[in-house]
Amino acid sequence: MSGIFHDGHWYGNTGMVCRRCGNPVYQSEHAEYSYQCFRCDEDLYSFEVTEQDGFYLPKVIVARPVNGISLNEGLEYLLDGNREVRIFNNQPEAEAFLLANGFIREDLEFLYFVEVADDRLQADRREG
Ligand SMILES: [Zn+2]
């Protein structure tokens, strides 16, 4: 599954983007709205979003719960040879890499493909 962590909550990719800023939108917490845009910091009605360009694939990093305990804390990220978090150009590339490195298809269901915008990447690095 692909999506993002925001304030410790996992939000799965909806395939929709904000009409105003073009960024991906995620499920709203509020029943009266359909989506929310973290970039605009607003909840949105369905007419305020549009379908994501099918060719748009965000960069992802791969995370999995430490010891199988999920969410909020205890996520470990796939690292590269320099002990940096490995960033893939998109989810299919990440899956291909994992499958070539000993993972099986079923393993992938337990992994998080965390979408990274280029400006968020810096923040994630600082925290790490
Ligand atoms: Zn927006």
The pLDDT score that the predictor gives to residue 128 is: 40
Beta pairing partners, 62: 113
In the predicted structure, residue 31 carries a pLDDT above the cut 90: yes
The pLDDT score that the predictor gives to residue 72 is: 54
- Compute, in angstroms, the gap from residue 22 CA to the centroid of ligand 1: 6
- Compute, in angstroms, the gap from residue 49 CA to the centroid of ligand 1: 9
Domain limits of the chain? 7-51, 59-127
- Compute, in angstroms, the gap from residue 14 CA to the centroid of ligand 1: 14
Alpha-carbon distances, residue 70 vs 3, 4, 115, 117 (angstroms): 15, 14, 18, 23
- pLDDT, tens only, 36-94: 999 999 999 999 999 987 777 889 999 987 765 555 567 889 999 899 999 999 999 99
- Compute, in angstroms, the gap from residue 77 CA to the centroid of ligand 1: 28
Contact of 85 with 124, CB cutoff 8 Å:
yes
- Compute, in angstroms, the gap from residue 21 CA to the centroid of ligand 1: 4
- Compute, in angstroms, the gap from residue 27 CA to the centroid of ligand 1: 13
pTM: 0.74
- pLDDT, tens only, 88-128: 999 999 999 999 999 999 989 889 999 987 654 444 444 44
The pLDDT score that the predictor gives to residue 8 is: 81
